[in-house]
Each structure stands twice: as structure tokens, then as C-alpha cells.
A and B are shown apart, each in its own frame.
Chain A
Amino acid sequence: MADDAPLLEARDIVVAFGSFRAVDGASLAIRKGEIIGLIGPNGAGKSTFFNCLAGERQPASGSIMLRGRDVTRASPEDHALLGLARSWQVPAVFDDMSVHENVMVGAFLRHPHAAEAAAAADQVIDFTGLRPVARARSGSLGTPARKRLEIARALATEPEILLLDEALAGLTPTEVRAAIDLVRQIHARGITLVIVEHVMEVILSLAHRAVVFNQGKVIAQGAPRDVVQDPGVIEAYLGRSLSRKPPA
């Protein structure tokens, strides 16, 4: 694979629900080491696009290449195997399992033996700061810890690229700052990131490149500071509700 080839590339993705096109010809190329911020008003199609990237949903048309391979129709588990991990907008932790066990599920992907998976999970738990709740049943956690657990579990699969869907939504300002720190540390480990966020502060402080979605299309992309001043982007946001969104 050539060094300048994108790590993940989506071309002309279309997803339709009945006659409504939630994603309508969106393209995006992500290079290794980038942090991409995906923004756009509610219902713009970010999560739907995201689900295509992760293999959760198959686009009606368009193609997706991951590390030089066509994964347009590949299953989510194949995506994981190829080094793509994700979090869910609505946290989807395994309630009946402890935090440590949740992370172990991710760790088993690269460490088939329980002892090694447990050790790997321990490292991720320390890295993500979940040590104090490691033995708690994850169903008993509050939202901030759940979101963090989602990230930890995804990290345990040892991905090259991590997709975070509103992993910081619903957090207090202090928690947001802690989460931003965590994302920086993840990036420092050489992991490429795509983050969907409504909080502009996050995008401005983290993203190398901002990609703006509206009505299923990419309407602008570039340096975050330039993008937020783009008249088309402002129009898209003001045309709908304001950029802040009530917690899901």
C-alpha cells in the first residue's frame, strides 16, 4: 500500500430509507494519522454515513476502501479485524458484564487466550482511567463512564482507525476536557480518528480537518477555523436548529 493512499476512503455513498436519501452521494478520504471532525445539523446523515464506514449498514451505491481493500459489503466483524473500531451514539455496553469484562470482549479479538485478553484489558482500563470502576457491573454506570467504556472497549480491539459518534455528548465541561485529553492520547498512539461532534469547542481544539454534512452531502471541508466561518455552513446550521443539540 502506497504511503499517500488514504487509510479509509468512501466514494459517492448513498443510503435511502424508502424515498428519503439520508446520505446522498457523500465522499470522504481519511489519511493515516488524521483527526477528522464530522459536523452537521441534526439529521444530516452523519451517523448513517458513519454506520456505512463501519460496515454496520450497506450503502445502496458507492464504495468504501479500508487499507486498500474494498469493504463496501464486508461485515462489521471483518471491519474490526481490519483495524476499524467504533463507538455508538447511544451507548451499547454489555450491561450484565463488569467493565473489565466488557473491555475483554474487545481484547479477545487480538488475544484469543483469556489470560492475555485480561492483561490487555487491564492496560486499556488504566489508559482510559476506568480503573476505579473496573469491577463494577457496567449496567450500573452513569453516562460519562459508559461513553468512556465504549471508547475503552473499542481501543481494546487495537484499531488503526477509531470512529467516535458523539462520544462526548452529554458530558459536563470538565468531563469534556478530560475526554479531549483522552482523545489526544489516543491520537498520540498513532490511531487515526473520525469524530462526530456537535460541540464546536471539541472540533476546534481537536480536529485537523472538519467535514460538514448537510442533507446527506458533504457541503464543506477544510481547516476547522475556516469551515466554521464558511457562509454555506452557517446557513446550513441556521436553516435548522442551533448547533447545540439536546443530549440523545
Chain B
Amino acid sequence: MSAATIPTAPRAAGRWVLGVAALAALLAWPLLVEDEFIQRIGALVMLSALSASAWNLVGGYAGQISIGHVLFFGCGAYASLLGFTWFEWAPILGAPFGIATSLLLALIVGSPTLRLKGHYFSMATIALAELARIVVVNTPALGGAVGVSGPAMPRSVLDLSFISPLPYYYIFGSVLAVLLLFTWWMSRGRMGFYLRAIRGQERAARSLGVPAQRYKLFALLVSAAFTSLTGSLYAAMLGFVDPDSGLGILLSVKMVIAAALGGAGTLFGPLVGSAILVPLEEMTNAAFGGGGTGITYVVYGAIIVLISRFAPGGLAEIWTWLRARGTRRGG
């Protein structure tokens, strides 16, 4: 699992060099690759990493496994495109409203839901998201089962409607950087320790003075806000959302899977998981000609099954295992 990795002093310098190199590579590679298909995958990886990292605050660090995060994603996506449909706003201008709605929802449903333990919590979050989906499907003003679209033609840069995937890559990447910086800062301070303690043993944590309910709720609020923003960005890029693409269970599960695959409760786990899953999905899609045949998800599902079978702790587990072997050999 997310075994505590304890940095030792001499390695710290090496880490910095490695970090800067990785960042440079992340910034530069899309410019070096001309293929738009691959650039597009890069943008989608960032988008997926964004939502999975937001989920990670609640599901990974605090260990409260929500399978209803699509609720917040949908808030963001719908706020953006409804802002356009109703008032002709640029989609991204709807983002603050999506975030506000998400925060409000998280406040209202968070307190009772976060009291539930284990599977009960997961089930309640599924039910909440499904509830939202059914309401939207049956409300024509919200686009009903058909969904809502953004501007057909870009009117200004504010519409964030670009032909090349590159701007999206950098926009999503910047937001992700902000989120990861926050997560990093949080994980080193009291909040990070408290959330991990809650995940480990909530009762014991409370006996040490951890106000568990308050911290879980705060994590949920931050997580909801970023998930909603991801939804808005998604809507700006795709220009369309319907109940399945904006509020379907599969989307919630994808957030969980991306984070769990790379390592839930680790800083870069969601990014690593996304960097594996999204290309996998896009490439099988391309190879077998779209989702219609279903092959994509058969392959996708099979790989998830294999990973859970052979590395139940996610890839982070393989990584710690390899490192443990390495140090044993080396020292």
C-alpha cells in the first residue's frame, strides 16, 4: 500500500534533480510529438488525473471510498454548458457555479453520509449520484436524456474551444499542478496526518483528539470543488454532456480505478494510474473501432482484474516490493 517512504538526506538532492527532469519532460513532450492523436491522449490523461487526484483526497488519504464523485463532476459539466445554453456564457464561466453547487451538495449530504462506515458509505454515494442522474434525465430544463451542448463555433478564446489538443493539455496540467501542490502541502501537515489516521483507525484517531467528522468533511469539500472544476474543463473541451457521460456510475468508478491502480493515498498515484488507463482505453478504442463493439472495455476490465489479482495494493505495491528487493541486494 502507501507504505511510508522515508527520505534520507543524501537522496534528497537526487530527488530534486529527478523531479525537475520529470517536470521538464511533462512540459516538453507534447511539443516534440506531432501526432494529434497522441497529444489528445495526453490531454485526456491530465483530465483523468485531475479527477482521480481530487477523489484521492477523500478516497485515498481519508480512506472514505466514494463511488459517487461523478455527482460533483456532473455539477461542473452541467453548470458550464447550461450557462451557455441559458445565457450564452463561455462554458468556463459556469465553473464557479458548478463549484458552488458542488460545495453546497457536499455540505448537505456530506455530514450524514460521512458518518457511515465502509461499504455503507460507498453504497450511499452511489445512490446519491444515481439520484442526481435520474433527476437530470427527467428534467427537460437540464437537457433531459438528450444532454446539453456548448457553442458550435468558438466565439472567443474564453470559450476554450481549440482544434489542437495542446492548449487543453497545458490548461489541465496547470490545474493538476495546483491540486498536486495543495495535496503535497496538505499531506505533510496536520491535515495529512489526521486524514491518514482516520483511514487507519477512526476510533483511535478520535481518541487522540482528531475531529474526524470535521476533517473528512473538509477533505470532501476540497475534493468536490476540484472534481467539479474537472467537469467544467471536460465540458469546455468536449462541448457536450449527457446523463451518461456526465453522471454515469462508470465515471465514478474510473476515478476510483485510476487512483487505486497507481496507489490510493499517494501523491502521484492517480497520475500514474491515469497515464496507464487512458492510453489503454484510447488505443484499444482506436484499434477496434470505437466503443460499439465493447472490446475496449473487455480489455480494460481484464487488465484491472489482473492487477487486482496480482497486486491488490495497486502498482505502488509492486514499486515498494521492487525497491525492497533492490535495497536488499544493494545493502
Contacts and interface: CB of A to CB of B under 8 A. Distances in A.
B4 A85 contact: no
Interface in B1-60: 1-4, 6
A98 B196 CA distance: 11
A77 interface: yes
B208 A105 contact: yes
Contacts of A76: 203, 206-207
B201 A157 contact: no
Nearest to B8: A135
Given A96-B2, A96-B196, A88 B204 contact: yes
A108 B2 CA distance: 21
Nearest to A140: B3
Contact of A104 (B1, B193, B209): B193
B4 A92 contact: no
Most buried by A among B196, B207, B212: B207
Contacts of A75: 206, 211
Interface string A76-120: 110111000110100011111110010011101100111001000
A137 B197 CA distance: 14
Contacts of B2: 96
Contact of A77 (B189, B190, B196, B209): B209
A101 B200 contact: no
B196 A97 contact: yes
A56 interface: yes
B4 A77 contact: no
A96 B3 contact: yes
A153 interface: yes
B199 interface: yes
A54 interface: yes
Contacts of A104: 193
A10 interface: no
B194 interface: yes
Interface string A21-55: 00000000000000000000000000000000010
Interface string B200-224: 1101111111111000000000000
B309 interface: no
Nearest to A117: B190
B188 interface: yes
A114 to B, nearest CB: 5
B204 A108 contact: no
B210 A77 contact: yes
Contacts of B211: 75, 77
Nearest to A103: B208
Question: Of B6, B193, B210, which is in contact with the most chain A CB atoms at under 10 Å from its CB?
Answer: B193
B1 A96 contact: yes
Interface in B151-190: 188-190
B201 A94 contact: yes
A80 B209 contact: yes
A154 interface: yes
B207 A80 contact: yes
A114 B196 contact: no
A96 B4 contact: yes
A54 B207 contact: yes
A92 B203 contact: yes
B193 A105 contact: yes
Interface in B279-313: none
B197 A109 contact: no
A223 to B, nearest CB: 31
A106 B208 contact: yes
A228 to B, nearest CB: 31
B207 A114 contact: no
A101 B210 CA distance: 14
A105 B6 contact: no
A183 to B, nearest CB: 19
Given A108-B193, A112-B190, A114-B188, A95 B200 contact: yes
Contact of A80 (B188, B193, B201, B208): B208
B255 to A, nearest CB: 21
Contacts of A101: 4, 193, 196
A76 B188 CA distance: 25
B199 A157 contact: no
Contact of B190 (A56, A96, A98, A108): A108
Given A94-B196, A96-B199, A104-B193, A153 B3 contact: no
B209 A93 contact: no
A93 B201 contact: yes
A79 B208 CA distance: 9
B203 A108 contact: no
A93 B196 CA distance: 12
Contacts of B206: 75-77, 80
B209 A97 contact: no
Contacts of B209: 77, 80-81, 106, 108-109, 157
Nearest to A80: B209
Given A77-B211, A112-B190, A154-B207, 10 more contacts: A79-B207, A86-B207, A88-B203, A92-B204, A94-B197, A97-B196, A98-B6, A105-B197, A114-B188, A114-B190
10 contacts: A54-B207, A75-B211, A96-B4, A101-B4, A101-B196, A108-B194, A113-B189, A135-B6, A153-B208, A157-B208
